Structure 1
Amino acid sequence: MLEEMVIDGVEIPGDSGGADPADVALTRAARGDQRAFAQLYDLLSARVFGLILRVLIDRAQSEEVLQEVFLEAWQTANTFDAERGRARTWLLTIAHRRAVDRVRASQSSRRRDLAGGARDLAVPVPGIDEEVALRVDGEQAVRGLASLPEPQRKAIVLAYFGGYSHTEISVLLGAPLGTIKTRIRDGLSRLRTALEETR
């Protein structure tokens, strides 16, 4: 059974030992057990919401996406296979995909609005140059993250891609809470500096 996700080369551990209550709840929900699904929601909704909020920033949209994630989970629970992964990982994957889809839809809507307004005002529409610049920025961010010392990189990846709180990261990495906060703060500062230097 897989017990962790790997994001940017950092393993995000799952819970070890015994049957995971979320796995059990999702397996029962797949058989139509509504109480088990409510238990799954209670167990994982805060973590799923945290991940969505990190991607979308907007709380209202994040709440909508959270509802969409759990609706999809209820409708597709029968596709979950506890032998291939954990319920937490399965739900976080759905949440990340839904959040990214929402960002893309929002960007697409803005582009349409800008294009419509641009036609009305005869203002040029953002073109290929800006698309290339966005991709270059993304590649620079990935390189910047890879250049961080491993302790800082692990802490940042767990916080921003794994959806873990600082306290959870402290437990996962076996480091004091203050150290984790310092690693994240210093890592983000280094990342910001690296991105500014490449511009």
Structure 2
Amino acid sequence: MSEGPTGRSRGTGASVPVPGRTEEHAELLRRVVEGDEHAFAQLYDATSSTLYGLVLRLVRSPELAAEVVQEVYLMAWQQAERFDAARGTALAWLCTMAHRRAVDRIRQNQRERERDQQYEVRQAETSSDSTWSEVEQSLDSGEVRAQLGALSPLQREAVCLVYYRGYSHRQVAEHLDVPLGTAKARIRDGLNNLRSALGVKQ
């Protein structure tokens, strides 16, 4: 069974340590500590495909994997003196940094998605609250209640849960056993229809 260009045994899917290359990588890192850019380029050529494969399996995005790998090699250039051959191989040291950096980016992206989702929820709720305020300011509550009949039963139930029983959008979704987006749509459409029925200007 032959080996690929990165020291990976073809057909097994697992990296196989190669003593000669292990020593070569360690020597290259020692030269990197001294600021040897040529040694750094050699180290990159010898190990980058392994790091890229590792990171890609984690982040599942070729573009993001390439970014993470570049960040890892920048860290390796800046922190080469931290490598200790007595604690492991140079490739293992690089892979450990790559794994940690990939996990950090995954968590960062997740936090960004959560912030975006929270922003969208706040925007939707603010829009609904603004619409309801316009209705209440324009007409008395008795007239509003009278015109609730202009809404569909689903819209009327959702609107009443929010503005007469104080439910949040998420509580409405749970109470009606529907997705959050469906509950928001019913509330939004119900308020818009109510505003139209009451003659409130857009």
Corresponding position of 1:134:
none
Q: In the superposition, relative to structure 1, how do residues 94 and 124 fare at CA in structure 2: closer, same or farther (>3 Å)?
A: farther
- For 1:34 and 1:124, the matched residues in 2 are separated by 56
Corresponding position of 1:100:
103
Corresponding position of 1:75:
78
Q: Deviations over 1:133-169 (max 9, x none)?
A: xxxxxxxxxxxxxxxxxxxxxxxxxxxxxxxxxxxxx
Q: Deviations over 1:36-69 (max 9, x none)?
A: 1111001100000000111111111111111100
C-alpha contact (below 8 Å) 1:118/1:124 kept by paired residues: no
Aligned pair 1:58/2:61, yes or no? Answer: yes
Aligned pair 1:16/2:30, yes or no? Answer: no
Corresponding position of 1:116:
119
- For 1:30 and 1:84, the matched residues in 2 are separated by 17
Corresponding position of 2:32:
29
Equivalent pairs: percent with the same residue?
Answer: 43
Structure 2, gaps ≥5 residues long: 1-13, 126-168, 172-202
- Name the larger-Rg structure: 2
What is the TM-score of this pair, normalised by structure 2? 0.53
C-alpha contact (below 8 Å) 1:31/1:78 kept by paired residues: no
**Which of 49, 53, 62 is 2:52 aligned to?**
49
Which structure: greater helix fraction? 2
Deviates more, 1:64-73 or 1:17-26: 17-26
- For 1:113 and 1:17, the matched residues in 2 are separated by 49
Larger RCO of the pair (alpha carbons < 8 Å, separation 6+): 1
- For 1:72 and 1:13, the matched residues in 2 are separated by 25
What is the TM-score of this pair, normalised by structure 1? 0.54
**Which of 69, 82, 85 is 2:88 aligned to?**
85
Q: Deviations over 1:85-131 (max 9, x none)?
A: 11000000000011111100000000000011111223549xxxxxx
